[in-house]
Amino acid sequence: MFKFLKYSLYLISFLFIGYALFTYWDYYILPLELRPRHAEYRFLKPGGLFGHGVGIIGSAMMILLLFYSLRKRTNIFGKIGAISRWLDIHIFFGTVGPLLIILHSTFKLNGIVSVSFWSMVLVALSGFVGRYLYVQIPRTIRGQELSMDDVKKASDVIGQKLQAIYDISIDEINQLEKAISGSVRGSLFAIFFADITRFFKSRSIQRQLQRRRNIPKNKSKQFVELLTEKALYDRRIMIWAKVHKLFHYWHVFHKPFAIIMYVIMLIHTGVSIWLGYTWIF
């Protein structure tokens, strides 16, 4: 249910943003001096009904995404919801919020607000990197980080299951695992590339099992799924220290730009309210 709701919200948001860009693109590409002559200027300008509205919603999303940090680091929300779901909401707000603020800016930036805008862009883009690093650290369903011993045990259990069900030696399992996961000694980009190509490697191994071992399609699919799960566990063991180190550096990069963004956003919002730009309120 949660996953359906999440993807529905993404779909609705992207359709709305896409519709706005398609419908009003002729306004967004106009030079600043010509925009007042556009028929929808009063509606689309940053202080207009639409422009101001998407700015307020986008800013609200950028504030609401901070609740993830509160849930993660404090007991304010108790144990309501799994950390992973809070992270999904955090990412949704961090993806859609900046896009709405871009519509609010009408693609024209001046002065100190441009610093906040580009800080926001860097925060949003680095957020995707952070998400990728986050999933490289094995966790429970509720988002709690597993220990190295827990990960090793999980990998061993899968290895034993593969041996018992498919009558295959551990050496063969290791060879197939290496083929499906690639090298883990390279850079983060190499690991990311291996993730992209894993689907095609999995299909190839599945066909080999069907052809060479006469394993039915449904069982070969199950074998590859278990093998992939084991390969991911073993890879996470190998890159354990590297990922934690990168995650630390990511926080060092991510946080300062987030602080700059929020400080300037609060100044911008305060000045707008002081000047009387309060939307429809």
Give residue-wise pLDDT tens across range 107-159. 888 778 788 888 988 999 888 888 888 888 877 766 677 888 888 998 999 98
Nearest one of 10, 11, 17 to 99, comparing CA atoms: 17
Confidence of residue 13 (pLDDT cuts 50, 70, 90): very high
Beta-strand (E) ranges in the chain? none
CB 163 within 8 A of CB 170: yes
Strand partners, 145: 139
CB 123 within 8 A of CB 264: no
Collect all residues with Cβ–Cβ distance below 8 Å to 124 and sequence separation of at least 6: 94, 95, 98
pLDDT digits (tens, 9 = 90+) for 243-259: 888 888 988 889 899 99
The alpha carbon dihedral of 18, 22, 23, 24 has a sign of: positive
Judged on CB neighbours under 10 Å (0-12, 13-18, 19+), 278 is exposed
Residue 246: phi, psi to the nearest 5?
-65, -40
The alpha carbon dihedral of 197, 177, 226, 143 has a sign of: negative
d(CA 218, CA 166): 13
Return the structure tokens found at 46.
């940053």
Return the structure tokens found at 169.
């030696």
DSSP, collapsed to helix, strand or coil, labels residue 96 as helix
Confidence of residue 15 (pLDDT cuts 50, 70, 90): very high
Confidence of residue 177 (pLDDT cuts 50, 70, 90): confident
CB 67 within 8 A of CB 129: no
Provide the mean pLDDT of the chain.
86
CB 188 within 8 A of CB 246: yes
Predicted pLDDT at 41 = 94
Residue indicated by tokens 């890159």:
239
Confidence of residue 188 (pLDDT cuts 50, 70, 90): low
Helix, strand, coil percent values for the chain (each to nearest 5)? 80, 0, 20
Predicted pLDDT at 144 = 74
